[in-house]
Amino acid sequence: MSIFFNKVTIIGVGLIGGSLARVLKTGNLAGGITGAGRSRETLDLALKLGVVDRIDQNSAAAVDNADLVVLASPVGAFLGIAREIGPRLKKGAIVTDVGSVKGELVKKIEEILPRGVHFVPGHPIAGKEKHGVAESNETLFKDTKCILTPTARTDPKAFEAVKSLWRVAGATVMLMDAEAHDHIFAAVSHLPHAAAYAMVNTVAEFSAGEENYINFSGAGFRDFTRIAASSPEMWRDICLLNGKNILEMIEQYQFALARIKKAIKHRDGAKLENLFSSASRIRKGLD
């Protein structure tokens, strides 16, 4: 399926939004791209970098006559934006998002957007610890997965268009139930982020004389905590929107830590080796 959008509006021109804009530009998939969002500074930079053609701090005005609207701001802003842009969207417009949380959020967005507007919920599994439009790149999605979570309401043509866009970006598109998505990503993404933030905060509390313990950290610690450099605002939103699943996963994680603690307390070397071996084997399988 060949795709072309006369006007695309990207709300939130950060790493993901900016990279998707670059994909649209490189592939000549858009007549024009408007960047919208709260931060004038970000928008000015996006314009200067040639990531977008026009900028507008008013999201509602920015979607006038848009064929495709991409919600790429922190997920916590999606509902407010949906309310804001809803009345201004043209009939037949496609709205998609790149949020790491689906489930309830998708249902609410569907309720807010007017009939005749087609919402296609998406989640590209891409990103890095460095954020912002300056880090955007049209190759960011190459050889990654993009998950789409269509609902009973999703328009098949709009769905195909969004699917094609992600394929052009280089991603493998996967379909998933929105609730299943949120449970899976609570485990493989949201929990590790919370755990990395907690790790940095734990170690930073200690110091020897004037030297913070963290200054003695090696490559392992740096790998482990790399994701703790991610956007705090984005992860705050994700924790609030997928709270139930994330709480479940943190609790499971606490159990796993407690098992290790117990084995250390009981000086149970066989048990420790067993716990570590299984993890080591599984982790090696991921490379």
Q: Which of residues 264-283 bind its own copies (CB under 8 A)?
A: 264-265, 267, 269, 272-273, 275-280, 282-283
CB of 226 to its own copies, least distance (A): 5
Cβ neighbors of 216 (< 8 A, separation 6 or more) are none
Among 60, 61, 79, 187, the residue binding its own copies under the rule CB under 8 A is 187
> Residues 159, 119: contact at Cβ < 8 Å?
no
Among 54, 90, 145, 167, the residue binding its own copies under the rule CB under 8 A is 145
Among 47, 49, 61, 125, the residue binding its own copies under the rule CB under 8 A is 125
Task: Select from 40-48, 103-111, 152-160, 213-221 the region that touches its own copies (CB under 8 A).
Answer: 213-221
Instruction: Specify the 3-state DSSP secondary structure of 212.
Output: strand
Nearer to its own copies, 8 or 140 (CB): 140
Q: Which residues pair with 71 in a beta bridge?
A: 11, 97
Residue 188 is classified by DSSP as I
CB of 52 to its own copies, least distance (A): 26
Q: Which of residues 191-210 bind its own copies (CB under 8 A)?
A: 191-206, 208
User: Contact between 115 and its own copies (CB under 8 A)?
Assistant: no
Beta strands in the chain (DSSP E): 5-11, 30-36, 54-56, 68-71, 94-97, 118-120, 122-124, 145-148, 172-175, 207-208, 211-212
User: What is the torsional sign of CA 197, 199, 202, 206?
Assistant: negative
Among 47, 60, 61, 184, the residue binding its own copies under the rule CB under 8 A is 184
Q: Which of residues 9-28 bind its own copies (CB under 8 A)?
A: none
> Residues 107, 82: contact at Cβ < 8 Å?
no
CB of 14 to its own copies, least distance (A): 15
Nearer to its own copies, 65 or 139 (CB): 139
Nearer to its own copies, 2 or 255 (CB): 255
Number of C-beta neighbours around residue 148 at 10 A: 22
**Whole-Å CA distances, 197 to 142, 217, 229:** 28, 15, 8
Task: Select from 51-59, 62-70, 103-111, 230-238 the region that touches its own copies (CB under 8 A).
Answer: 230-238
User: Contact between 76 and its own copies (CB under 8 A)?
Assistant: yes
Separation between Cα atoms, residue 179 and residue 273, nearest integer Å: 35
Separation between Cα atoms, residue 270 and residue 108, nearest integer Å: 50
How many residues touch its own copies (CB under 8 A)? 90
CB of 280 to its own copies, least distance (A): 5
Nearer to its own copies, 115 or 265 (CB): 265
Q: What does the radius of gyration of the chain's CA atoms come to, in whole angstroms?
A: 21
User: Contact between 261 and its own copies (CB under 8 A)?
Assistant: yes
CB of 98 to its own copies, least distance (A): 14
